[in-house]
Amino acid sequence: MSKKTKILSCVLTAATVLAAFPLSVQADESSPKVRIVIENNTRTGDNTPWTGTIADKWVELKPDSTAQSLFIDLVESEGFTQTGAQTGYITEIQGLAAEGMGGWMFGVDDWYGNNGVTAFSASDGSLRDGDEMYFSYSMNWGADLGADYTSTSTKLKELKADKGSVDGPDTDNSFTLSLPEGSTSVKLTPTAENKNYRYKIYKNTYTPDENNDYCRSKDIPVANGDKLYIGVGHASWHGWMPDGVEETVYTVNVSIPSETESSTEEPESSAPESQVSETSDYKTGISVEKIIEEVSANITGSDYLVFGNEWEVMTLSRLGRLTAAEKDQYINALKQALKDNPPVNATDYAKYFIVVSSFGKKYADEYGNEFSDKLFDYDFDIKQGINGAVYSLIALDTVPLEGKADAVREKLIDYILTLQLEDGGWTFFGDSYDPDMTGMVLQALSRYYGKSDKKINDAVDKAVALLSQVQNQDGSYSSFGTANCESTAQVLCALSSLGIDAEKDPRFIKNSLSVTDALKSFYKTGTGAFSHTVSDTSNKYSTAQAFYSLCAFLRNKNGMTRLYDMSDVMSDVVPESSVNSEQSKKPSEQSKQTSAVQKSTAAGSSASDTVATSDGSAAAIRFVIVIIAASAALIILMKKRKENN
């Protein structure tokens, strides 16, 4: 090879190698952008599809963008696999799926709160230019990412700046930020002790109720004497918070040598008084029937026969409000969605089987097997832990299934009973009850209660006694210290499944307020929607759970089959009354047992995923690099030739 050829070859090779490296495309000033990071730094081992960071890029933020839409667009454009994005509950990215206590967590600016991808949008300002979205795999519902739901700390773990030095905090929660002479801006990177609680940065005036804070990717204009405020855990920044959590506010005093001018603005006082959850201390006159009418109208007033609306569609079906044409329309949407994204866990298979079975025998016979067959695998059912076991048992009992189903049912029941806690309840994790999971287990065991199995009867009696004892004085139920719609709804559904009238049974009436009174307090009258807490705005998930729980209540009240007992729509099966003589026996009272409440919201409530690689602009940049390098090589060769001549 000639010397000239070697030079050209080396230059082109260098250009090609350079172009092959991933480019971190930074947000430019021409259009708003947000950063998306997808990472797995917690799950390792031979069976782990991938580890590390598979995406770290800036994407355009359009006026109609949401965190959910940005994820979906990115995955579709890059050809990656994902499951659950359309519903806002992502369980798999590029083969890395939720398993056991592991799953995907969604965070914004290093905050892994209880707000999922559906809660962030450009239109309402919750997603802004410069925001950084993280999709991180957790092995224990966020604790390994620094988001520990057993902690209520709102302190900062550390504070970093992109220049100068940071000293502190002092005993009064103040830092000193010393910047180099001539500095006019700084980027701050706070890290909270508990990433369940959000932080925000303000300049000179602490205004937590206004949307004028600085995200950590943006330069903050500063002068000598300025004060920056960092608040951690302000109540209005979160979908819900435990009672008694107090916000912490830090002051950052800016010092720049040789600066003669200082900020003339006086900082406002630091943290406001802590806020506590509102209570539902009233009794509304609206009837359950009226609420169901309004919720039904709200749901059917939009494009509702789509994938992702399983619980709403199932409830409408149980209310007898779906035509055959509407059932067919939903089935077609479900089939197409599952063709693109097959289910990955028992909970999904169970959910789809339940909704299809609610449509009646024709649909259960034609479409049910593809879901129920998977649920016959006991090891698959319990792979998700108690959640998968409970939903699998509920699904297997929706319609008469023989043969394999009997053996699996028995094993699932034994598994569930072994997980009952000393306090009488069940939980997602930890050693104290969770009302949501306790309610779900009772729904699963309701078919077997009041019969000959003493173990089941005793377990149910103990759990029912616990739920009576821990009911709030306004009739509601709390998870993680906060009275909320979902916990109250699950208990109502459980009582109704057991044949207990939640409006009349004295064990579940406190201060003349029943469970249904409490659930009504989360209802936004006239809107057809429910909220997580009484002070929150309404949301899809609270509405769906309240909707089917009220349906379960009415079915019990009217002597119909249980919500999940579909025998009434199986033409060749005699319906089993949900209030037969055995089932209507009330579980016995048990001695009071107190315990702390812990709640998991990983992969779920706020769980989400994303996948991405370099986009078209990055590829274009690489192409330009190659062209420039090649051009440079040709110029060198021409110059050499001219010198030789």
Q: Which DSSP letter does residue 19 get?
A: H
Confidence of residue 403 (pLDDT cuts 50, 70, 90): low
Confidence of residue 366 (pLDDT cuts 50, 70, 90): confident
Percentage with pLDDT > 90 across the chain: 49
Q: How many CA atoms lie within 13 A of 251 on its CB side?
A: 18
pLDDT at 476 over 90: yes
Query: 167 with 178: CB under 8 angstroms?
Result: yes
Percentage with pLDDT > 70 across the chain: 79
Q: Which DSSP letter does residue 41 get?
A: S
pLDDT at 198 over 60: yes
List of residues 6+ apart from 391 with CB closer than 8 A? 346, 347, 350, 351, 440, 444
Query: 475 with 518: CB under 8 angstroms?
Result: yes
| CA gap 85, 77 in Å, rounded | 14
pLDDT in tens, 268-308: 433 333 222 333 334 557 899 999 999 999 999 988 999 88
Nearest to 97 by CA among 144, 141, 24, 48: 48
Average pLDDT of span 253-266: 62
Among 93-102, 279-288, 378-387, 462-471, the range scoring the smallest mean pLDDT is 279-288
User: How many Cβ atoms are within 10 Å of 17's Cβ, its own excluded?
Assistant: 9
Q: For position 452, what pLDDT does the model report? A: 82
Among 39-48, 282-291, 308-317, the range scoring the smallest mean pLDDT is 282-291
Q: For position 186, what pLDDT does the model report? A: 94
Residue located via tokens 């049912």: 409
Give the ranges where 212-307 is alpha helix by DSSP (H). 288-300
pLDDT at 265 over 90: no
pLDDT at 253 over 80: yes
pLDDT in tens, 86-101: 888 889 999 999 988 8
pLDDT at 44 over 60: yes
Q: For position 4, what pLDDT does the model report? A: 40
Confidence of residue 151 (pLDDT cuts 50, 70, 90): confident
Q: For position 641, what pLDDT does the model report? A: 46
Q: For position 284, what pLDDT does the model report? A: 56
Average pLDDT of span 318-329: 94
pLDDT in tens, 571-621: 644 344 333 333 434 444 333 332 222 232 233 333 333 333 333 444 444
Nearest to 100 by CA among 386, 425, 393, 408: 386
Q: For position 605, what pLDDT does the model report? A: 33
Nearest to 112 by CA among 89, 144, 159: 144
How many residues does this entry show for the chain?
A: 645
pLDDT in tens, 545-564: 999 999 999 999 999 999 99
Burial profile 510-542: b = 16 or more Cβ within 10 angstroms, e = fewer: beebbbbbbbbbbbbeeebbbbbbbebebbbbb
- Concatenating the DSSP letter of every residue in 51-64 gives -EEEEEEEEE--TT
17 vs 483: which has the higher pLDDT: 483
Mean pLDDT of the chain: 80
Strands (E), 128-233: 132-138, 156-161, 165-167, 174-178, 185-186, 188-192, 199-203, 220-221, 227-232
Query: 253 with 174: CB under 8 angstroms?
Result: yes
Torsion (CA) 440, 353, 417, 43 in degrees, nearest 10: -90
| CA gap 460, 442 in Å, rounded | 7
Nearest to 437 by CA among 467, 409, 407: 467
Q: Tell me the two tokens of residue 445.
A: 């065991």
| CA gap 481, 364 in Å, rounded | 40
CA dist list (Å): 88 to 27, 306, 319, 424, 451: 26, 14, 26, 32, 40
Phi, psi of 245 (to 5 degrees): -75, 125
Residue located via tokens 């024709």: 362
Q: For position 402, what pLDDT does the model report? A: 61
pLDDT in tens, 485-539: 999 999 999 999 999 999 999 999 999 999 999 999 999 998 999 999 998 888 8
Confidence of residue 479 (pLDDT cuts 50, 70, 90): confident
pLDDT at 162 over 50: yes
| Cis previous bond, 257, omega within 30 | no
Pairing type for strands 92-93 and 227-232 reads: unpaired
pLDDT at 3 over 60: no
User: What pTM was computed for the model?
Assistant: 0.52
Q: For position 521, what pLDDT does the model report? A: 94
Burial profile 188-220: b = 16 or more Cβ within 10 angstroms, e = fewer: bebebbbbbbbbbbbbbebebeeeebbbbbbeb
| CA gap 566, 355 in Å, rounded | 10
Query: 266 with 223: CB under 8 angstroms?
Result: no
Average pLDDT of span 455-479: 95
Confidence of residue 30 (pLDDT cuts 50, 70, 90): low
Q: For position 582, what pLDDT does the model report? A: 38
Listed ranges 166-180, 378-392, 553-567; the one with the highest mean pLDDT = 553-567
Beta bridge partners of 106: 135
CA 116 to chain CA mean position, Å: 4
Confidence of residue 404 (pLDDT cuts 50, 70, 90): low
Strands (E), 220-322: 220-221, 227-232, 248-255
pLDDT in tens, 79-132: 889 998 888 888 999 999 998 888 999 999 989 877 788 889 999 888 999 999
Pairing type for strands 156-161 and 482-483 reads: unpaired
Nearest to 405 by CA among 394, 420, 417: 394
- Concatenating the DSSP letter of every residue in 410-465 gives HHHHHHHHHT--TTS---SSSSS--HHHHHHHHHHHGGGTTSS-HHHHHHHHHHHH
| CA gap 494, 66 in Å, rounded | 35
| CA gap 497, 179 in Å, rounded | 64
Long-range contacts of 346-349 (CB under 8 A, 24+ apart): 346/374, 346/375, 346/380, 346/381, 346/382, 346/383, 346/384, 346/388, 346/389, 346/391, 346/392, 347/384, 347/387, 347/388, 347/391, 348/83, 348/91, 349/374, 349/375, 349/392, 349/395
Q: For position 211, what pLDDT does the model report? A: 82
